[in-house]
Amino acid sequence: MSVEKWSIFNLLTADVRARIRLFAVLGANGNEAIFITDDDEAFGFGTNYSYCLGYGDYGATLEPRRIDALCGQKVKAFSYGASPHVMAITGEGAVYAWGHNGHSQLGNGTQSLSNVPVLSGAGSGMRNVVRVACGSFHTLALTAEGEVFAWGQNSCGQIGSGCLANQAHPRKVTACIGPFKAVDIACSQSSSFAVLENGEIYAWGYNGNGQLGSGNAINQATPSRCTALAGIVVTRVVCGYAHILALTDQGHIYAWGANTYGQLGNGTKLNSSIPVRIAPDLGRFIDIAAVHAASISAAVTDTGKVYMWGQVRGQFVTVPLESPFDNLDDVFACCSHPAITFRAIQTKKSMLKDLVAAAFNDENTADIRFVCDDAPDRPIFCHKSILRIRCLYFQKMFAEPWSDREKEIITVQDYPYKVYFAFLKYLYTETVSLGTDEVLQLLDLANAYCEENLMHDCTNLIKHGVDSANAAFIYDYALRFNAKELEEYCFRYMLNHMTEITQTKTFLKLDETTVKNFITKASQNGAFRT
């Protein structure tokens, strides 16, 4: 992702831009930016409203100013609210906060603005934070253990404590959620949302625009299950200022809340207090995006098509419109007003990667070729030096006295051409483009070659293709090849759609032991409780 797509970064020199590894653009006009460099230094520049840049004074600056408290912290994510207050998650899972604090939204026990990052939640038991979401004046955090913490303004019940008193320190949200872990969180202006591991979505706080999805406009001071989505397994939730989008495990999008600019994508500009599925004819979606400061929504399908709707460059688009972009971030850089980021963005160092990618399958520079049994006339051209750097299997092959060490042609017998080509291409480009069936074979290959990053990427791709027809097959495949992450995902999918799954041909073909083990595990996870 190129930082130049956000105009504020054109104020920096090319040398500074080239060093950025993580960044966020915020502010009412997109005039503030925070970034982390390759050597783990933190900087901010821009208008610095309410000390939101964290470098220690109130003044605006066009020159990047160092944020000392974040340097060396391996920051991995940012979140920001409309106040503005800003949160950062460190590599150790700690949370630092700075900026506006009139409602204790920084979580440090005070109501004083902070012009430098301060530790949030000290002594509260909040640790191993993996995600932070900011409302206008309140904050949520999600831990690796699935716990949800909340703090800040509570005038509408957005902390979920059952009362309306502000919360100066992070407080664990427990009411109504029960024993389930949370897997996602989000905040709109004064409302809060949590998605649980069983696919239920809970909402609490302000409901004046129907953003709690309860069918009314009554505020909730404790988490309340969105019953309109009963039986639908939600995996992700995002919020604009007062509208909500939810993504299900079947790739469907539901939207509700404010709709002045068409940001719900339901073809109208009328608010909705009930979640409504949108764009059912556009295929399976795999990600969604929205942000407080702009009334624009976006989503991407499993085929890579990016759609946008709402206030798009000043026009009101009431149904999803296919964009020319290949990622969600570009929607907010090019079509949102203001041009901000909806998440912290990890940059990709393109120059060296582009050169390496261009070298793949180049017969003129290659010093080794691979020939697959099913395509003997289509050799794949590679470079020993790159393969040794990128893959432990090849490092050993070319360094130890293996029979293939001195060969210029290696015959591949166990995998088809299409799969092995994708594997070698991944070593050069870190990208995969295959159908679900081929990705399963690629996962097997990655496992055999101990390529953990490829295994992870394959697993994510396969997840996007899991449906009721193939879930049992993929679950069985994951069991046989010890793909634990994929196994757990398929188990959860099957658990959440058990009636439908158990009637499919693929489930009926599972061996007796697999079926018995699945039923036992499902029972342990409450599948047969009444």
With bands split at pLDDT 50, 70 and 90, how would you rate the model's confidence at 312? very high
Q: What is the pLDDT of residue 58?
A: 86
Strand pairing report for 138-143 and 201-205: unpaired
pLDDT at 348 over 70: no
Higher per-residue confidence, 82 vs 229: 229
What pLDDT shows up at residue 492?
A: 93
The arithmetic mean of pLDDT across residues 122-129, rounded, is: 92
Say whether pLDDT at 260 is over 90.
Answer: yes
Q: How many residues does the chain have?
A: 530
Supply the pTM of this predicted model. Answer: 0.89
pLDDT at site 400: 66
Chain mean position to CA 74: 18
Confidence at residue 403, expressed as pLDDT on a 0 to 100 scale? 57
- Write the pLDDT tens digit of every residue in 463-511: 999 999 999 999 999 998 888 999 999 999 999 999 999 999 999 999 9
- Please answer whether residues 236 and 247 qualify as being in contact, where contact means their C-beta atoms are separated by less than 8 angstroms: yes
Question: What single DSSP character describes residue 81?
Answer: -
Mean pLDDT of 164-174: 95
Which has the minimum average pLDDT: 205-209, 311-315, 434-438? 434-438
What does the alpha-carbon distance between residue 376 and residue 9 come to, in Å, rounded to a whole number? 50
Q: Are strands 234-239 and 220-225 parallel, antiparallel or unpaired?
A: unpaired
Query: Which bin fits 151, alpha (ψ -120 to 50), beta or left (φ > 0)?
Result: beta
Q: Residue 529: pLDDT above 80?
A: no
Across residues 223-243, what is the average pLDDT?
Answer: 96
pLDDT confidence band for 527 (50 / 70 / 90): confident
At 185, the amino acid letter reads I
Which of the residue ranges 147-151, 178-182, 249-253 would you say has the lowest mean pLDDT?
A: 178-182
The Cβ-side half-sphere exposure at 305, using a 13 Å CA radius, reads: 11
CATH topology of domain 350-524: Potassium Channel Kv1.1; Chain A (3.30.710)
Mean pLDDT across the chain: 93
pLDDT of residue 176: 81
Q: Where are the alpha helices (DSSP H) in 298-391?
A: 328-334, 350-359, 384-390
- Annotated domain spans of the chain: 232-348, 350-524
- Residue 84 CA to residue 44 CA, distance in Å, equals 14
Whether the predicted pLDDT of 401 surpasses 70: no
Cα–Cα distances in angstroms (integers) from residue 170 to residues 123, 127, 201, 222, in the given order: 9, 11, 21, 16
Q: Is the pLDDT of residue 430 over 60?
A: yes
Angle among Cα 21, 25, 26 to the nearest 5 degrees reads 145
Q: Which residue has the higher pLDDT, 400 or 462?
A: 462
Alpha carbon 447 to chain centroid distance?
A: 24
Is pLDDT at 350 greater than 60 in this prediction? no
Nearest Cα neighbor of 73 from 85, 87, 89 is 89
> Taking a C-beta distance cutoff of 8 angstroms, is the pair 264, 316 a contact?
no
